[in-house]
Amino acid sequence: MSAILSVKDIVAKRGRRFRLRIKDFAIQAQEVVALIGPNGAGKSTLLTILACLTAPDHGYLLFGDTVVTKKNALSVRRQLAVVFQEPLLLDSTVLENVSLGLKLRGQKDGAEEKALAWLQRFGVDGLADQNALTLSGGEAQRVSLARAFALEPRVLFLDEPFASIDLISRTSLVAEFKSVLTGTGTTAVLVTHDFSEVLALASRTVVLDQGKIQAQGTPEEIAADKKWGNLAKGIELNGMAIYR
């Protein structure tokens, strides 16, 4: 099976400091990969490189068999979607926000109907005409998820998407998200500090530390790992990234 996205020999630096050094990493179709690790491990850096938002200092990104370059980065990016920890909605109506990505990608016909359907799927269609900046945190993140799914991405990237939501809303949103993810068979990469999310959503877990991949396997394998199991249990208990 060929990978949808892969990185080869990538290095990312900030100044002289290495933030990421990965020899080989690939994402296969329909898998949900969770990236876990302590703060500063390089999870978000890897996510932005995979999502074609930043270029590595060395090495390259492959989309299928095609090397991603400055020239084709936009067309690759237009087949992906990203949800960040903050909803990052624009100063316009909810419906405009959700249909924006489709319009930017040249899919103007039926964009609003599609956007409305996804808003409905996440239970926020009643807010369609409201300014997106007036929503509560939970509502805004639902809109943000609807916006990403409306794009029908080949790979969906999520950078701690549930971290800023209160516990009660988070539980129901994770459940809804899981049902949508399973229903659509979307390939996803999830950065999280909450191992319960890993257990609920991921098919593969990748442990990053000091910019390197330290371990990978199913969430259960990572939880049972001598070294990294403690890390996993720690975050399951605390729901936070206090690993060591």
Partner 1 sequence: MDFIGQGFIKAFELLWTGNKEVYTIALLTIKVSGTATLISLVLGVPSGLYFAVSRFRGREFLVGALNAGMGLPPTVVGLWVALFLWRRGPFGFLGLMYTPTAMVIAQTIIALPLVAGLTMTAVQQLSPKLRLQILALGASPLQFWWLILREVRLGVMAAVMAGFGRVIAEVGASMAVGGNVRWYSRVLTTSIVLEVNKGNFSLALALSFVLLLISYSVTYWLTVLQQRRRQT
- For partner 1, the binding residues (CB under 8 A) are 48, 51, 53, 74, 77-78, 80-82, 84, 86, 88, 90-92, 100-101, 104-105, 131, 147, 151, 157
φ, ψ dihedrals at 136, nearest 5°? -75, 170
| Of 73 and 200, CB closest to partner 1 | 73
| Of 90 and 242, CB closest to partner 1 | 90
Are the beta carbons of 135 and 147 closer than 8 angstroms?
A: no
| Of 10 and 81, CB closest to partner 1 | 81
Element of type H or E holding 177: helix 167-184
Nearest distance from residue 92's CB to partner 1, in Å? 8
Computed on alpha carbons and rounded to an integer, the radius of gyration of the chain in Å comes to 18
Helix runs in 30-166, H state only: 43-50, 73-77, 94-104, 111-121, 137-150
Nearest distance from residue 77's CB to partner 1, in Å? 6
Nearest distance from residue 229's CB to partner 1, in Å? 32
Nearest distance from residue 91's CB to partner 1, in Å? 6
Q: What is the dihedral of CA 216, 144, 142, 34, to 10 degrees?
A: 0
| Of 13 and 212, CB closest to partner 1 | 13
